């Protein structure tokens, strides 16, 4: 069974990516340092209740969702699937943005 730090780290990273936020941006929205957020996402630190609330507000979720554990393998697989889809969307979005920017520069 995963520790509470591991559950928090996975969920925090999943919700952050799902929201399309970088660590820097989420840290800014939650009024914490990006380095501190990185230590939470890697299970090295555990935030105070106040910081947990600020992270949840920044992610537009209820705080308790940061500790949600998938009850079945199917739910865990669905969460993984959603995380992968979110990552792919973000990569495609960035690639399209770069392509459009390059195309605009070539037409000038």
pLDDT tens sequence across 16-67: 999 999 999 999 999 999 999 999 999 999 999 999 999 999 999 999 999 9
For 104, half-sphere exposure in the C-beta direction (CA atoms, 13 angstrom radius) is 6
Question: For domain 1-69, which CATH number applies: 1.20.120.1750, 1.10.260.40, 3.40.50.10790, 3.10.110.10?
Answer: 1.10.260.40
Residue corresponding to tokens 């739910």 = 75
Tell me the mean pLDDT in the region 83-97: 89
Q: CA–CA separation, 24 vs 35, rounded Å? A: 9
Least Cα distance to 86 among 22, 21, 17, 26 occurs for: 17
- The domain locations on the chain are 1-69, 70-108
Q: Which two tokens stand for residue 106?
A: 């070539």
Q: How confident is the model at residue 71 (pLDDT cuts 50, 70, 90)?
A: low
Judged against a pLDDT cut of 80, whether residue 75 lies above it is answered with no
Tell me the mean pLDDT in the region 75-86: 83
**What pLDDT is stored for residue 80 in this prediction?**
82
């Amino acid at each position: 069974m995963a520790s509470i730090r591991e559950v928090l780290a996975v969920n925090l990273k999943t919700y952050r990516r799902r929201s399309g936020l970088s660590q820097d941006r989420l840290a800014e929205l939650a009024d914490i340092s990006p380095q501190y957020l990185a230590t939470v996402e890697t299970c090295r630190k555990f935030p105070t209740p106040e910081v947990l609330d600020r992270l949840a507000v920044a992610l537009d979720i209820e705080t308790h969702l940061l500790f949600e554990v998938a009850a079945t393998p199917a739910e865990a697989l669905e969460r993984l699937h959603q995380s992968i889809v979110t990552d792919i969307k973000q990569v495609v979005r960035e690639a399209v943005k770069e392509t459009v920017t390059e195309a605009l520069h070539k037409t000038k």
